[in-house]
A and B are shown apart, each in its own frame.
Chain A
Amino acid sequence: MLVRLEEIHTYYGKSHILQGVSLEVGKGEIVGLLGRNGVGKTTTLNTVMGWIKPRSGRLIFKDTDYTSFPSHKIARMGIGYVPQGRHLFPKMTVLENLKTGMLYTAGDDGLDRVFDLFPNLKERLDQKAGSLSGGEQQAVAISRAILKDPDILLLDEPTTGLMPLFVNSLLEIVRRLNEQGMTILLVEEKVPFVLSLSHRIYFMVKGRVEYECRKEDLVGREDIFVKYLGVHP
């Protein structure tokens, strides 16, 4: 297993958000994390990234317990993050944003890989990241993360605010990244997007993982979506 969460309990002040989350992501997998609003999906990713420290439980990456590591060390270990809202550095240019992904990796050849995935970025390099469209911002956020050449990429609501056309191309891009060997942990509200990409899916309810299955196991199981998400897929 590449990443494993063991009985993670995370709090925001007195609010008990993650109430014993356990899940694992194997090398080369795309794992989807589904659940209604406010069940703790983003908190799970923030905990994996070290932005929030769990009060109890263990975070394991490649057999190393990294629960107490600061997030910059976690990032350098090989975990890339595209958070909800993208968190670009808005007053810096696109190129400077991309450079933040290249600070601790050798060489500039990663840029070619990024331009291969997002050719439009080549023309935007000198533009301030804050002035880009939603799709372009997402392209920069993903590019910046993959330039770090991480073992696993955490994607939080990547389709939010994107036009349908770009959602489809994003789907292809995520698939291509996975084919190139990138492991992905995906949090997304759009169920079809998750179903198209994921090999395995975890369903979260009120801060806990309540159900886990392979994508194939969900065929004809509308009841599961109704039970855990309150929606039809």
Chain B
Amino acid sequence: MPEWAITVLFLLMNGLIWGLIIALIALGLTLIFGVMGIVNMAHGDLYMLGAVLAFYLLPVSGSFWIALIAVPLITAVIAGPVERFILRPYEGHPAVTMIATVGISFILQQIALATYGGIPKKIADPVDFSFTVLGVSYPGYRLLVAAIAILIIVGIYLFLYRTNYGILIRASIQDRQMASAMGINVSSVLVTTFIIGSVLAAIAGVLAAPISQVFYLMGNDVGLLSFIVVIVGGLGSLGGTLIAALTLCSLEGVLASVLSPTQAKAAIFVVMIFVLMVRPRGLFGEREG
């Protein structure tokens, strides 16, 4: 196989793995939007929070895997009150909740800057095995990340489509008022959904920490990319979000072999504009009414 083909293959592989991480974040974003109608501008910062918490927990617990379990729990403890006391009072006012999440984003970033500092740091790979494909050594941790992300995505799917609580959430997405008339406590569904969405972003942060650098602004780019993924996939569409995440990230990965990283990012915007011109509601978005 020619060298360029091998390079493209590995870039594609990296893109797909990165796509799975982005899918976790974007699924949380679209779930929160679908149930609550909230455009969460702080979502990328929850990803950053996950990575920073993992950085702090690693020396304390001594195990990356303990951090992977503890960080979602800590995030849940933070996300619950945020929804209940900051976002809930402005329910039904999308512009206000959006501005509130911008405020939450600033607060999270500044807390991280004040405690963690402004210098990017790296977490060591939690597993040190690698394998050789086509004569190139590839880190095993990345495949582990892909496996964990797939497991979580399948878990989320099964939770939403095969459990009674999933029915509660989907009913609340489709008709909140009727859901309440069926006895569903929509208020508790809102908190739970916000927690699930936030936890997904934080888990993505923990998984990405050994791959990318941990930095208090690391959520900005990722947050933006997640928004593009959700818009291209179709707001509120879980399947669309997954497909858009994998497609856009692998495309960005492959384009990075011929373009500069900045140009590759710009190309993703071009794809988004093109998709919106052809399908204004995204690839899998549905018409209203």
Contacts and interface: CB of A to CB of B under 8 A. Distances in A.
Given A72-B186, A92-B167, A100 B174 contact: no
B175 A103 contact: no
Contacts of B7: none
Interface string A71-94: 110011000010100011111100
Interface residues of B, number: 18
B212 interface: no
Contacts of B168: 100, 103
A100 B180 contact: no
Interface residues of A, number: 24
Contact of B167 (A75, A81, A100): A100
Contacts of A144: 182
A161 interface: no
B181 A81 contact: yes
Contacts of A51: 177, 180-181
B35 to A, nearest CB: 13
Contact of A76 (B164, B170, B183, B187): B183
B12 to A, nearest CB: 33
Contact of A90 (B164, B174, B185): B174
B251 to A, nearest CB: 29
A71 B180 contact: yes
B108 interface: no
Contacts of A12: none
A72 B188 CA distance: 11
A49 B168 CA distance: 19
Interface in B136-190: 164, 167-168, 170-171, 174-175, 177-187
The A contact surface, by secondary structure, is loop
A101 interface: yes
A142 to B, nearest CB: 13
A49 to B, nearest CB: 6
Nearest to B170: A92
Interface of A: 49-51, 70-72, 75-76, 81, 83, 87-92, 96, 99-101, 103-104, 144, 148
Given A49-B181, A87-B177, A100-B182, 17 more contacts: A50-B180, A72-B180, A72-B183, A72-B186, A75-B180, A75-B182, A75-B183, A83-B181, A87-B178, A89-B178, A96-B167, A99-B164, A100-B184, A103-B164, A103-B183, A148-B182, A148-B183
23 contacts: A51-B181, A71-B181, A72-B181, A72-B184, A72-B185, A75-B180, A75-B181, A75-B182, A81-B181, A83-B178, A83-B181, A87-B181, A89-B170, A89-B171, A89-B174, A89-B175, A92-B170, A92-B171, A96-B170, A100-B182, A101-B182, A103-B164, A103-B168
Interface of B: 164, 167-168, 170-171, 174-175, 177-187
